[in-house]
Amino acid sequence: MSSAFSMPRAWWQTLVAPVVLVLIGLFVQGDGFHVYLAITAATAFILTVSFNLIYGYAGVFSLAHIAVYGIGAYAAVLLEMKAGLPFLVATLLAMLICAVVSILVWLPTRHLRDLFLAIATLGLAVTVQELMLKWTSLTGGAEGLLGIPFATAFGSDLAANSMSYYWLAAVAAILAWEVSARLTSSGMGRKFIAHRESPVALAAVGVSPGRVRLVAFVVSGMLAGLAGSLFAHQALFVASESFGLPRLILLILAVLIGGAGTQLGPVVGVAALVFIDEAGAASSGYNTLILGVAIVVLLGYWQGGVARLLNLTLGRWLRRRPPEIKPARVSFPVVENTDVLRVEDIGVEFGGVHALDSVSLEVRPGHVLGLIGPNGAGKTTLVNCVTGHVVPTAGRVVLGSERLDGRRPEQVAGLGVVRTFQTAKLLTQISVVGNVALGFAAGARATDLGEVLDSPAARADTRHSLEESVGLLHALGVDTDLWEPVGAQPYSTQKLVEIARALAGAPSFLLLDEPGAGLNEHECATLSDIIRRLAQSGIGILLIDHNVSFVASVADHVHVLDGGRTLATGAPREVLDRPEVVAAYFGGGE
């Protein structure tokens, strides 16, 4: 599990890669074959780290990654052979070229997910490989590029498959490990995992999922370019066949077998593939059979990979005492806001069906407006319109003088209008306090680069978000181990955690969609008290719930929808006694 949502990384996590690589170097010294194997593993580790970041952490299954790796190899070699640049300069420029290529991959695929993303990026990978094969004047075509010079560093030649080249690859691997460790321990790591688990939740706290995906593409692309350059200067030969489907499959297997979304996953994954390959060679070429059996056993029984299996077995020895975080304050932020949130004649049509038809309402600062109605009345659709998840076909949504309709969800949240969801959008395997800390992501002071490198400003942001998160949780009365996964908490606690995350952005308006669903009478009473206190702090609240008594106990006014239209509006007791409202709940409606 990423420390980005739990505890800061332990000291031993910083030393894993350097210690392992130094030990490997001492072990293989003097044995040419094992030196070659160690260099291959170090380069494969860098590539696996890069794919683990974009897929394991950010959840972006980009099959074009292998093409970016190939472009890094070709770019570094061509910059040396045709432009006369030294190895280190050519490698850095190749990494920048891979960053640009990654942006070009991101542009047409930024709204795609899952199978559609995989197919689109696979198409891009095939296209790039075909260009490598056909562009003979640049790439050498099927014959590839020969005569690649040795890598050089500080005036010395580093012969391919020599110990000096191994130490170069080892330094690069340590760099990749450190970048991964810093990124996944930072605020950017929180955003990566939120993008993987729930882009909707990420947008709801004011962070653009598209921007987070872009960072994932760029960082992973640069590391893939580094791996490509090292590969080319080890092989001293580059051809398109090195960046095809077989290499892509091995890359995916290394991440899955090791443990996608874990820091140790690339180490374990590459070691497992090297071991399987060597075991197959020692057993007269049964490596394919051994690999197949290993895949079935590991992914069939331990889908989290070997690293997660090790965490389950060794976790109690490696588990650390969580840091003590003192709350910054144990109260709700006071909101000084005079703007009114207005929904004016909103209409929404889905395939000829009117989900909403000329609905108007107002949410005022410091007041609670209850929105009720039978199933299918259009309550959640209205919230989706206000928060940018649905574009209305008629009418408008206005906050003060600002139009909200047509804006993206993260933009609406950035203007102070936030929401919770019918089904809580929490990151279930992440800690309670880590989930709330995500709500502070939009207000981070560190730049994207600072977060990737876990700069002092980024660490200060993390500390601030944790302190504020603990304060909000205490103010809401959450009494549990804040470092435990939120998925292990009672449903009532999860509801409060989602409210705390929404409050982290200091909103002016809070839209609560079914916060009382699944709660018992005592828990509803507690929630009612919290909602009153939030309103007293100046927050305007739109409350949706099927529990009419719960809504009536806390709302200043009630707005009733039925069939997408306004049925009644007014004071709770007055509205609930109307015959048409009683009929909608007990004698009509859906």
pLDDT digits (tens, 9 = 90+) for 293-319: 767 776 666 666 777 766 666 655 555
What is the C-alpha R_g of the chain? 28
For residue 547, count other CB atoms closer than 10 A to its CB: 16
Q: What is the pLDDT of residue 280?
A: 59
Q: Return the bridge partners of 557, or none.
A: 369
501-522 exposure pattern, b = at least 16 Cβ within 10 A, e = fewer: bbbbbbbbbbbbbbbbbebeee
SS3 339: coil
Say whether pLDDT at 589 is over 50: no
Residue found under tokens 């093409």:
67
Length of the chain: 590
The number of angstroms, rounded, from the C-alpha of 526 to the middle of its chain's C-alpha atoms is 32
The answer to whether 513 and 421 have CB atoms below 8 angstroms apart is yes
With contact defined as beta carbons under 8 Å apart, do 269 and 302 qualify? Answer: no
Helix (H) or strand (E) holding 343: strand 341-350
Give the separation between CA 204 and CA 199, rounded to whole angstroms.
Answer: 9
pLDDT for res 590 = 40
| String of DSSP letters for 253-314 | HHHHHH-TT-SSHHHHHHHHHHHHHHHHHHTTS-HHHHHHHHHHHHHHH-TTHHHHHHHHHH
Q: Are 566 and 360 in contact (CB under 8 A)?
A: yes
Q: What pLDDT sits at residue 13?
A: 67
Domains in the chain with CATH codes:
13-243 (no CATH), 341-428+491-586 (3.40.50.300)
- Reference 569, options 359, 269, 340, 265; nearest CA is 359
pLDDT one-digit tens code per residue, 446-457? 999 999 988 999
**Res 279 pLDDT > 70:** no
Report d(CA 526, CA 184) in Å as an integer: 36
pLDDT of residue 316: 57
Q: Is it the case that residue 107 has pLDDT exceeding 60?
A: yes
pLDDT digits (tens, 9 = 90+) for 58-74: 999 999 999 999 999 99
Query: What's the pLDDT score for residue 2?
Result: 42
Of 140-144, 287-291, 517-521, the poorest mean pLDDT is in 287-291
pLDDT of residue 3: 47
pLDDT score recorded for residue 530: 95
Dump pLDDT digits (tens) for 482-497: 888 898 899 999 999 9
Q: How far apart are alpha carbons 264 and 258 in whole angstroms?
A: 7
First CA to last CA distance, the chain:
43
Average pLDDT, the chain: 88
- 325 pLDDT above the threshold of 90: no
Give counts: helices (H), strands (E), the chain.
Answer: 24, 12
Task: Provide the β-strand partners of residue 362.
Answer: 342
Instruction: Tell me what pLDDT residue 451 has.
Output: 92
Name the region of 364 (left: φ>0; alpha: ψ -120 to 50; beta: rest): beta
What's the pLDDT band for 284 if we cut at 50, 70, 90? low
Q: What confidence score (pLDDT) does residue 246 get?
A: 86
Contact in structure between 108 and 228 (CB atoms under 8 Å) = no
CA dihedral (72, 75, 80, 82) in degrees, to 10, reads 170
Tokens, residue 410:
């993260």
Residue recorded with tokens 């009382």: 516
Short-list 23, 1, 13, CA closest to 271: 23
Average pLDDT over residues 536-546: 94
Q: Is residue 417 within 8 Å of residue 509, measured between CB atoms?
A: yes
In this structure, what are the phi and psi dihedrals at residue 236, rounded to the nearest 5 degrees?
60, 25
Q: For residue range 238-264, what is the model confidence (pLDDT) as tens digits?
A: 999 999 888 898 899 899 888 888 888
pLDDT digits (tens, 9 = 90+) for 3-55: 444 555 666 667 878 888 899 999 998 888 899 999 999 999 999 999 999 99
Among 90, 314, 25, 58, which residue's Cα sits nearest to residue 196?
Answer: 58
* pLDDT of 12: 65
- Beta strand 557-562 with 565-570: parallel, antiparallel or unpaired? antiparallel
Write out pLDDT tens, residues 122-134: 999 999 999 999 9
User: What is the token pair recorded at 219?
Assistant: 């960082």
How much is the average pLDDT of 559-569? 93
pLDDT tens digits, residue range 152-171? 988 788 898 899 999 999 99
Each residue of 352-372: pLDDT tens digit?
Answer: 788 999 999 999 999 999 999
